[in-house]
Structure 1
Amino acid sequence: MYSQTMLTEKVPIRSIAKALMVIEYLASCQTEVPLSNISSKLKMSKSTVHGILSTLKQYGYIEQSSFTGNYKLGIRFFELGRIVASTWDVRAVSGPYIQKLLERTGETVHLVVLDKGEVLYIDKRESNQSLRIVSEIGSRLPAHCTGVGKVLLAYLPKLEMQRIITTKGLPQYTKNTITDPLKLEEELKAIRERGYAYDIEEIMENLSCIAAPIFDYSGKAIAAISISGPSTRFTAVRLEEIKPILIETAAEISTSLGYRR
């Protein structure tokens, strides 16, 4: 990210490009760094690097140790990060993407979060096909028997996931509902490994879906999206057709929220 090639590209203001290289390098080090190391690594003169550091330090973006004289990123980056994070509303960011997903697949799309151990539906784009899904924004469903719920459980810390299962229980809704905690944990492990989840008539007869997680800038799965439809239409072939489109959309939303794999 801080390679010399950045300066060989057509950059309107080279001094800004150099300052960004210094910032990226310090961020990658995650510790205090002497000026000589920065100069050597980035192949810049010490005077140039010192000038950049002095300017950034003046505005609070760089801190210099009073003991070693080494440099590290300043508190201003933390303050700005909090401001940026607060403006990233997952529903607002996801809106255009899930609308595009509806248009590409022609199937109902849901956006959900995990709240108090349950799935909370925060957005929906509905299919105009004859067989549609009856669901409402603001409604809640159990996590253990929905595709979106299983995805979000799968990416929780193990103890938190187990606490939800213990607290909420695993009530049976259909013959396909997983009611054994050990079997559910095995299913969640498989979901983590492949990156998506299925719900084949686990909460309602003749209802199937496929779901994928949405990650924020910290790498936390903060939401999930799903494509749902009647099982008569959601055959194995149909699920395979829409799977890559769903995964691609979830990845695009995650990137827009600052997630970097």
Structure 2
Amino acid sequence: MPETKSKRSGETQIRSVGKALTIINYLAESPGEMPLVKIASKLGMAKSTVHGLLSTLKDFGYIEQSPFTGNYKLGIRLFELGSIVANSFDVRTIAAPYIQQLVDKIEETVHLVTLDKGEVLYIDKRESHQSLRIVSQIGMRLPAHCTGVGKALLAYLPPEELKYLIKTKGLPRYTQNTITDPEKLEEELRRVRERGYAVDVEEIMESLCCIAAPVFDHTGKAVAAISVSGPTARLEGERFDMIVTMVMQTAKEISAGLGCRNTPGVGR
């Protein structure tokens, strides 16, 4: 007899598979082990149906049953699969088509960086076709406190880690706009969290402007940042506002590709 199917959101859904996944989701959100009777009651399913599904899931390692209480919990196989998925999230590979799309649309240089040993490490760069371009390269390192990408990442560090980096790295001046006071930097990072993006206006180099946004992984951690960089004169007024919107949207899309379901909102 063929498996019964139902229509949901315009797609064919296998009911037994849907019920099994519902059970897994319920156990994932429940504290500790759960008895069969409670699972069936909470999900509105017959005990015989739930028992059959649990037995099948247990055979495949997705569910474990306590030999003492007979109650159920998630199995080790789900942890193994989660680790496989997490390890497959390579930020550079996932970000590549998004940052290329961004540079194609706005015709300015786009960077992808990570924070390494208190500095920003450039792991990808997409060049614009403008005659006046940014001199940078993959593998280059720059200080974090005076770059847009750096501030986008520093803003989401634990306070203790941020203070340690400031103490060990210092806040050297590169231009007259460089923030060299720890309290002013912390205030700037608070604004970054509030609005969701960071800006470097001639803080690392004269006539250079950078608009950046953080990229979050499946745990909600800021693991990278993307930026649009160009001459200050080209990143002003309405164009500045447009680029801010596009950078934030691109960062959000990359974060989703890394498994981030709920990007940390503004106001943190």
Q: Fold-level match, TM-score > 0.5?
A: yes
Counterpart for residue 172 of structure 1: 173
CA separation in 2, counterparts of 1:114 and 1:162?
Answer: 15
CA separation in 2, counterparts of 1:257 and 1:144?
Answer: 26
Superimposed CA distance per residue, residues 122-153 of structure 1 (whole angstroms, 9 cap, x where no aligned partner)? 00011101211110000000000000001111
Conservation of the 8 A alpha-carbon contact between 1:11 and 1:17: no
Counterpart for residue 27 of structure 1: 28
Superimposed CA distance per residue, residues 185-215 of structure 1 (whole angstroms, 9 cap, x where no aligned partner)? 1111111122110001110000001100111
CA separation in 2, counterparts of 1:116 and 1:130?
Answer: 34
Shift of 1:72: 1.2
Q: Which runs of 5+ in 1 are unaligned?
A: 1-5
Q: Which amino acid aligns with 1:223?
A: A
Shift of 1:41: 2.3
Counterpart for residue 241 of structure 2: 240
Superimposed CA distance per residue, residues 41-89 of structure 1 (whole angstroms, 9 cap, x where no aligned partner)? 2221111111111111112111122333221111111111111111111
2:92 corresponds to 1:91 = yes
CA separation in 2, counterparts of 1:156 and 1:247?
Answer: 19
Deviating above 4 A after TM superposition, structure 1's stretches of 4 or more consecutive aligned residues are none
CA separation in 1, counterparts of 2:207 and 2:217?
Answer: 33
Counterpart for residue 160 of structure 2: 159
CA separation in 2, counterparts of 1:226 and 1:86?
Answer: 25
Q: Which moved more, 1:175-184 or 1:238-247?
A: 238-247
CA separation in 1, counterparts of 2:146 and 2:110?
Answer: 17
Counterpart for residue 259 of structure 1: 260
Counterpart for residue 134 of structure 1: 135
Conservation of the 8 A alpha-carbon contact between 2:6 and 2:14: no
Conservation of the 8 A alpha-carbon contact between 2:216 and 2:258: yes
Shift of 1:107: 1.2
Residue identity over aligned pairs, in percent, reads 66
CA separation in 1, counterparts of 2:251 and 2:193?
Answer: 14
Conservation of the 8 A alpha-carbon contact between 1:97 and 1:253: yes
CA separation in 2, counterparts of 1:31 and 1:211?
Answer: 41
Shift of 1:7: 5.8
Q: Which runs of 5+ in 2 are unaligned?
A: 263-268
Aligned residue pairs, count = 256
Superimposed CA distance per residue, residues 190-242 of structure 1 (whole angstroms, 9 cap, x where no aligned partner)? 11122110001110000001100111101110000001110011113221011
CA separation in 2, counterparts of 1:44 and 1:11?
Answer: 21
CA separation in 1, counterparts of 2:142 and 2:19?
Answer: 51
Conservation of the 8 A alpha-carbon contact between 1:215 and 1:221: yes
Give the aligned CA root-mean-square deviation in angstroms: 1.4
TM-score by length of structure 1 reads 0.94
CA separation in 2, counterparts of 1:75 and 1:228?
Answer: 45
